[in-house]
Chains A and B, each alone.
Chain A
Amino acid sequence: MINWIWMTMLIIGLIFAVINNRMDEVNAAIFEGAEQAVTLSFGLISVLVFWLGMMKIAQEGGLLKALSKFLAPVIGKLFPEVPKDHPAMGYILSNMTANFFGLGNAATPMGIKAMEQLKVLNGGKDEASRSMITFLAINTASITLIPTTVIAIRMTYDSQNPGEIIGTTIAATIVGATSAILIDRYFHWRRTRRKKVR
């Protein structure tokens, strides 16, 4: 799937570059894209190192386990394949909490840790499990309380009320996240039905 998307974008892009005679722009775009990717990854090093260190202390101290036990009844329904006291649950919850408060920097390391644990649960296969897809769906919808970057940009352009979009943003994010969960459920239902027919 991701293979096809990638190839299609590249091939269609190259064909359009010829048609539109935009070879210069495309040549520049190749290096800009690559550089942007490396800059992003290097930017992640600092937060990953720091938060993985802190999360290790939290794990050794039993904090993650306590957190998962406490909130598992709610989140557990979304991830029926993850055992209630599994470390994956703790990471999933920390990721969601960090996202909720708009702490993207802290959310990414915890999300990656959660994925690692979900992969262990799935027997280390390179295939996405049901829980992984659910977790991704929730993350792409990103339930956020305060869109800090957006408010900052609105302030730069002299908005009368930079924060006025918080209400509409929360409403839209709730619709997005709810549909993510429902669509994920639908696709899971379709997958299992297909298996039963066979």
Chain B
Amino acid sequence: MVILSTVSMYLIPVLLFVILATAIYKKVPAYETFVDGAKDGFQLAIGIIPPLVAMLVAISIFRASGALDFILAGIAPLLAMVGVPPDIVPLAIMRPLSGTGALGIMSDLIAVHGPDSLIGRMASTMQGSTDTTLYVITVYFGAVGIKKIGDALKVGLLADVCGLLAAIFFVVLVFGSM
């Protein structure tokens, strides 16, 4: 645990050192090259704005209108039958759609149930074990202008289902029954 966080802490400085050391070795003009490469950064970030605005506005409307709650109310009993606690369902649905939304639900669950409760541990594991699929697709494909995304969303969401169920399974396995 301590070793891991130390590695994470040193990784970026070490990486920068290695990059600069090879630049000296290969006689690359580091400063000019940096400025040249960095130019694209601004353009790329600006290019992400349109797809991201489109997606986040749609998700906000979907949440604020109560449509999400309606779907949750329909799905929760079904998931309860497979052993998913109803409290955790909103987080499971939100996790692939909105990172900040999921973070909000997770903090709320931890505040209400306590971080060391079964629900709190489940929420923590779910939040940490996967990324926001819709955001990743919007940013990566938006940045390079991919319009036809093929099976990307299907693959991402199905993998999320597996990951989220695995989170519930492992928490119950490690921290005891419900």
Interface membership of A28, Cβ < 8 A: yes
Once the chains bind, are A9 and B58 in contact (CB under 8 Å)? Answer: yes
Interface membership of B1, Cβ < 8 A: yes
Question: In the complex, A48→B128 CA distance in Å?
Answer: 23
- Which residues from 28 to 60 on chain B have a C-beta closer than 8 Å to any C-beta of chain A? 28, 30, 33-38, 40-42, 44-46, 48-49, 52-60
Q: Which residue of B lies closest to A120 (CB)?
A: B144
Q: Which residue of B lies closest to A48 (CB)?
A: B41
Q: Which residue of A lies closest to B25 (CB)?
A: A61
Q: Which label, helix, strand, loop or mixed, suits the secondary structure of the A interface?
A: helix
Once the chains bind, are A187 and B129 in contact (CB under 8 Å)? Answer: no
Residues of A within 8 A of B171 (CB): 165, 168
Residues of B within 8 A of A53 (CB): 33-38, 41
Question: In the complex, A18→B124 CA distance in Å?
Answer: 35
Once the chains bind, are B53 and A63 in contact (CB under 8 Å)? Answer: no
Once the chains bind, are B56 and A34 in contact (CB under 8 Å)? Answer: yes
Report, as a range, how many residues of chain A touch the other chain: 35 or more
Given known contacts A10-B61, A112-B44, A147-B127, A50 and B52 CB-to-CB distance under 8 angstroms:
no
Interface membership of B18, Cβ < 8 A: yes
Question: In the complex, A132→B150 CA distance in Å?
Answer: 10
Closest chain A CB from B17 CB (angstroms): 11
Once the chains bind, are B33 and A60 in contact (CB under 8 Å)? Answer: yes
Interface membership of A42, Cβ < 8 A: yes
Ordered nearest first, which 7 A-B pairs have the shortest CB separation? A56-B37, A176-B163, A147-B128, A33-B60, A49-B41, A53-B38, A180-B159
14 A-B pairs besides A17-B65, A38-B53, A126-B148 with CB distance below 8 A are A13-B64, A15-B67, A36-B100, A44-B44, A60-B28, A61-B25, A115-B140, A133-B151, A140-B96, A141-B163, A142-B129, A149-B103, A154-B120, A163-B1
